[in-house]
Amino acid sequence: MTWRRNRGGTHSEHSSRMPSESQPSSPPMNEKPALPPPDPGSDRSTLRRRSSLKRTSARSSGHRLFLSWIEDDIENRFGFFRGGRYTSVNKTFSFILGLLLTGLFYGAVTYLKGAVPALDRYTIPFVREGNVWTVVPAMLFFFWGMTTLFIKQKKIDFQKRALDLTAVPTQPEFVLNETTARAVLERLHGMVDHPQHFILLNRIERSLASLTNIGAVSDVSAILKSQAENDENQMASSYTLLNGLVWATPVLGFIGTVLGLSAAIGEFTQTLAVDSTDLAAIKLSLTGVTSGLATAFETTLVALVCALIMQLYVNYLQQKESGLLDDASDYCHAHVISKLRLLKRGPTNGAGAPGEVASEPADDSVAGPEPA
């Protein structure tokens, strides 16, 4: 119960009572009670069912945009593998897709090699006998990396949709304190299946949960800063596999170069032993030399081109994901930190009744201790 000082100096009870955890406030008569947030550890069918119920409830409440990670995430749509957190990609899922694409690619190359002789110049480097030991793994790494990057791009686009949600009211007169933070959290859980699956909403939930549980406005900025650092580390770790594939692909090309040169030198040694008067034998022996040199250069060319394409794609997505994190930080500063208000209670009178309640904006960086 809060009290305010009237102009005459007497104290009167505030008309609204802050709901407590033991006595939650009942929802209005014309609104349905909010569904409890789903447990992230539940099985997939339960999460989908509850997400569908929350989507229906959100539409009936007037929310035009509802995001469901369990239903809308590109990895979860297939239903076989659980999607990676935020923009991370399930490695098993992307590897299987990359393996399938590699098989389709070699099926197409084999068909075109026999059906369209004019394309032999482009198809032979992939199927030459001396190349397959390095080119096939290089193409597998290439399609695995490209599949991972494509899925990652879709997940980044999905995360950016959370910026369109009005998680925190945008009215200029709206302020965040212990009371309104509870309403914002309920509003937040009504817009998504669970906030922890979204970079922006997870930051807001963690900071406001601290505000409602502890009531310390000074901790909100610290929590948001710490969570931003965690998100940056999460983003960096999601590129570990991709960086390894970009590094390993040209290495396979260099291995092919060594194998091709070794074969060419071996064939050239045999050429020197051939009778110089037998031109047919010399030509036959030189065929092995040129084949080894072709392997040396073709494997390196294929591997370097694949690595270059992957590296350019990686750089593009890193820039795009960094922009997402910056937008999330800007949103938190504009709609969370700037709307925080610190409840400052005045001195009590002799009867122990609290004094006037005032509001002060919280410091955007590090707020001091709450006044007594």
Structure tokens at 287: 């065929």
Determine contact, residues 358/370, Cβ cutoff 8 Å.
Answer: no
Tokens 């309920």 belong to which residue?
186
| Per-residue buried b or exposed e for 202-219, using 16+ beta carbons within 10 Å of the residue's own CB | bbbbbbbebbbeeebbbe
Q: Residue 372 above 50 pLDDT? A: no
Average of per-residue pLDDT values in the chain:
77
Q: Residue 365 above 80 pLDDT? A: no
- Between 329 and 81, whose confidence is greater? 329
- Between 69 and 252, whose confidence is greater? 252
Over residues 353-372, mean pLDDT: 42
3-state SS assignment for residue 324: helix
Structure tokens at 261: 């040169």
> What is the spatial distance between Cα 168 and Cα 64, in angstroms, rounded to a whole number?
15
> What is the spatial distance between Cα 89 and Cα 220, in angstroms, rounded to a whole number?
30
Over residues 203-221, mean pLDDT: 80
Instruction: List the single range of 48-57, 66-75, 141-150, 311-320 with lowest mean pLDDT.
Output: 48-57
pLDDT band at 354 (very low <50, low <70, confident <90, very high): very low
Backbone dihedral angles phi then psi of residue 190, each to the nearest 5 degrees = -85, -10
- What is 323-353 written as a DSSP string? HHHHHHHHHHHHHTGGGBEEEEE----TT--
pLDDT score at 44: 62
11 forms bridges with which residues in the sheet? Answer: 5
pLDDT score at 31: 39
